[in-house]
Chain A
Amino acid sequence: MLEARDLYKSFGKIAAVRGVSFTARDGQITGLLGPNGAGKSTTLRMLYTVLKADAGDAFIDGKSVTLDPLAARRAIGVLSHGAGVYNNLTARENIAYFGELHGLSREDREARAGELIEMLEMQPFADRLAKGYSQGQKLKTALARALVHRPRNLLLDEPTNGLDVMAVRNLRKLLGQLRDAGHCVLFSSHVMHEVEQLCDEVVMVNGGQVVAAGPLAEIRARAGNAQLEDAFVSLMDGGGADS
């Protein structure tokens, strides 16, 4: 479970996040939705501990990201923006490396890498250097890397960027499986129909603040519109701040 509590973050004079609070529960996929520059990435980065909040705190399975970042990191898997992998390592080595960083023993991480390669259907390219990977293959590698230590919580920053239809479909299937296995999945996106197809819960942010949060159906109903896109536009207009 992920919990953001009144997070604030500024870069110089620009206030990127201004008091964001929400909860992402286990066994659910939560979508962080908002236009470009709304503060989605900054919020995620505070949750996955690479940025320190100016004020507020976040908790991962109850562990504070500011007070005990190492413990928080053990409980999360992260797919960062761009999903960069190491080009001179194979997918298998990329995965095993993160297993090692997470403290898995050699047998453990090798077994786990094999398991993930099978699960994500990466066999055709798993032992080739990542140099020549397609965007979809890179994403699978990055995803497997994020899952190597069996984290309870998964955070994904714009995971569908640059993917073709098939890859998006595969990702959707996988995230569904993870949810059904009881994981807490949080991802950011600005693509409406993606969120609509995937999410159980939606957190809409704009101008560094939460403008709406709740189950997908509820959000739609609250805006009086059937389509999420229309709900989104009306909420942005109504509740959105200055950006």
Chain B
Amino acid sequence: MKLRGIWAVFRKEFRENMRDRRTLLSALVFGPVISPILVAVLVQFGISHAETQSDENIQVAVTHAENAPNLVDYLSARGVDIVKVNFDEAAARHAVATQTHKIILEIPGDFGERLQHGEPAPVILYSDSSRGFERRGVGRVRALVSTYGIEIAQLRFLARGIDPISVLPISVQEIDVSTPTGRSVLVLNMMTYLVLLSMLFGGLYLAIDATAGERERGSLEVLLTSPVPREHLIYGKIGAAASYMLISLLLTVAMFAVAMSFVGLEQLGITANLGPAAAMKMVACCAPLILFGSAYLTIISAFAKTYREAQTYLQLVITIPTMPLIFAGMLGLQPKLAWMFVPFLSQHLLMTTVVRAEPIETLHMVVSVASTLVYGALLTYIAGRLYRREALLG
């Protein structure tokens, strides 16, 4: 069997697409550059945010602080930075809405008086709950204020000769187990997901062009009159799409390694293992998928009549193989032999293992690579059969 046709098609597709801005953007820019930056920013933000939540003082603007000097002292002794302001209600609302102050505590003029007479003394807490980041701060202020109230109550009971413990029948102790390590699982999931997705996007436009594009341009018929077996034409095209996926994969992983080196992954409890060796292992885990991916996308676009139709299909369909990853994330799947037969899922699990610097079981790797290659070969064969059909001409 002569393979020169495959080679000729491969080279032509590779060269032609190197000149196509859209292909280059999707293969070399969107996935490889944007997704690592996105993750790095999110991680960085998550880290600094987590730090803020636990350690840093919260800033609270107190309006009419002079009405409750003891409460203000109590708060500032417990990690609250007090900014004294003088707002009426409208001004307070405005200040929160415009975020000049994130949390405002208003102490009404009759606060001291009511407190003295043993009447409930109101304070007003302004915040914007649609800004999720302030919620914990508000919670802390609220908790501090009520603790202050309880302490006053206890003093009152003491003054009346009652053991204050008896009016606190239940004490709730909260333990938050959301550790940095737990959060890191999310980051890892997102990273492997983006690596796989950006790999697929690398070959997207080549896959569309293979059938729908050629047909729309009117070059498909002439191509089919060349003395090359039809399936060889599609093999060459799948090969070209696969090569773009490989480039996209290499770039994405490399960019992730670079981006993550700027981000303190250790702080999320991950033994940051994204050095060159780990990056190469990740590529090795995913590389078998490129055949599967490009054949899969090529088959789907063979059913589309036009370029736009193919584009619409593919943008939907491209996410289907990555579905198992979402479940893996939700269910917290661990690597086991059965999962190694599932394309995309096995690559996800293996990559996660690599990044966690845990050892990969040889059997797992072998099964993942072999099964993925078999599926890829099967899909390539199916694509070849599809290219033999007359309906291809549309």
Q: Which A residues are closer than 8 A to B by beta carbons?
A: 45, 48-52, 70-71, 73-74, 76, 78-89, 93, 97-98, 100-103, 129, 142, 145-146
Q: Is the pair A70, B227 in contact by a Cβ cutoff of 8 Å?
A: yes
Among listed B179-187, B213-221, B355-363, interface-contacting one: B213-221
Q: Which of B16, B224, B228, B393 contacts A86 (CB 8 A)?
A: B16
Interface centre among B214, B221, B228, B393 (most CB of A within 10 A): B221
User: Given A80-B222, A87-B217, A142-B222, 8 other A-B contacts at CB below 8 A?
Assistant: A50-B225, A79-B222, A80-B225, A81-B221, A83-B218, A89-B15, A98-B222, A129-B19
Cβ of B8 and Cβ of A97 under 8 Å apart?
yes
Known: A50-B393, A87-B217. A101 touches B16 (CB 8 A): no
- Asked whether B222 lies within 8 Å of A76 as measured between CB atoms, the reply is no
Whether B19 pairs with A80 at a CB distance below 8 angstroms is no
A89, B4: Cα distance in complex, Å: 20
**A83 to B218, alpha carbons, bound, how many Å?**
6
Name B392's closest neighbour in chain A (CB-CB). Answer: A50
Q: How far is the CB of B359 from chain A (nearest CB, A)?
A: 46
Of all chain B residues, the one with the shortest Cβ separation from A70 is: B227
Q: Give A45 to B394 CA distance when docked, in angstroms.
A: 13
Query: Which of B19, B218, B221, B227 sits near A101, CB closer than 8 Å?
Result: B227
Residue in B16, B17, B20, B218 whose CB lies within 8 Å of A80: B218
| Interface of B (DSSP majority class) | helix
Q: How far is the CA of A213 from the CA of B107 in the complex (A)?
A: 104
The answer to whether A85 and B390 touch (CB under 8 A), given A73-B225, A101-B5, A101-B228, is no
The contact of B226 among A84, A86, A98, by CB within 8 Å, is A98
- Count B-side interface residues using an 8 Å CB cutoff: 26
Bound CA–CA A146/B219 (angstroms): 12
- A50, B9: Cα distance in complex, Å: 18
Q: Is the CB of B227 within 8 A of A88?
A: no
Given contacts A52-B390, A103-B4, contact A86 B227 (CB under 8 A): no
B115 smallest CB distance to A (angstroms):
79
Q: Shortest CB–CB separation between residue B190 and chain A, in angstroms?
A: 34
Q: Kindly provide the distance from the CB of B248 to the nearest chain A CB, expressed in whole angstroms.
A: 19
Residues of B within 8 A of A (CB): 4-5, 8-9, 12, 15-17, 19-20, 214, 217-229, 390, 393
Complex Cα distance, B219 from A83, in Å, reads 7
Q: Which residues of chain B are near A89, meaning CB under 8 Å?
A: 12, 15-16
Q: Which of B8, B17, B19, B217 contacts A84 (CB 8 A)?
A: B217
In contact, B221 and A80 (Cβ under 8 angstroms): yes
Question: How far is B223's CA from A74's CA once the two chains are assembled, in angstroms?
Answer: 12
Query: Which single member of A45, A70, A145 contacts B229 (CB below 8 Å)?
Result: A70
Q: Give the chain B neighbours of A86 by CB distance below 8 A.
A: 12, 16, 217, 219
A39 to B222, CA, bound (A): 19
Asked if residues B227 and A74 are in contact (CB atoms below 8 Å), the reply is yes
Could you show 28 A-B contacts with beta carbons less than 8 Å apart? A48-B221, A48-B225, A49-B224, A50-B224, A50-B393, A52-B390, A70-B227, A70-B229, A73-B226, A74-B227, A79-B222, A80-B218, A80-B221, A81-B218, A84-B218, A84-B220, A86-B12, A86-B219, A87-B217, A88-B19, A89-B12, A89-B15, A97-B8, A100-B12, A101-B8, A101-B226, A101-B228, A102-B226
Least CB distance, B16 to chain A, in whole angstroms: 4
In the complex, are the beta carbons of B227 and A102 less than 8 A apart? yes
Q: Which chain B positions have C-beta within 8 A of A45?
A: 221, 393
Inter-chain contacts of B217 with A (CB < 8 A): 84-87
CB–CB A82/B218 < 8 A: yes
Residue of B nearest to A131 (CB): B19
Closest chain A residue, CB of each to CB of B393: A50
- Are B221 and A103 neighbours in the complex by a CB distance under 8 Å? no
- The distance in angstroms between the C-alpha atoms of A71 and B214, with both chains bound, is 24
CA distance A123 to B72 in the complex (A): 86
Please state if B227 and A84 are interface contacts (CB–CB under 8 Å): no
Q: Closest Cβ of chain B: how far from A133's Cβ, in Å?
A: 12
Give the docked Cα–Cα distance between A145 and B19 (Å): 21
Chain B residue numbers with a CB within 8 Å of A76 are 225
Q: Is the CB of B226 within 8 A of A146?
A: no
A48 to B5, alpha carbons, bound, how many Å?
Answer: 19
Q: How far is the CA of A11 from the CA of B259 in the complex (A)?
A: 56
Q: Are B226 and A51 in contact (CB under 8 A)?
A: no
Residues of A within 8 A of B221 (CB): 45, 48, 50, 78, 80-81
Residue of B nearest to A99 (CB): B8
Bound state CA distance, A97 and B14, in angstroms? 12
A209 to chain B, nearest CB (A): 22
Contact of B8 among A52, A71, A85, A100 (CB under 8 A): A100
Instruction: Tell me if A97 and B227 are in contact (CB < 8 A).
Output: no
The CA-CA distance from A82 to B214 in the complex, in Å, is 12
Instruction: Specify the chain A residue showing the minimal Cβ separation from B233.
Output: A101
Most buried by B among A79, A80, A87, A98: A80
Within the assembled complex, what's the spacing in Å between the Cα atoms of A146 and B126?
A: 77
Indicate which residue in A84, A93, A100, A103 contacts B219 across the interface (CB closer than 8 Å): A84
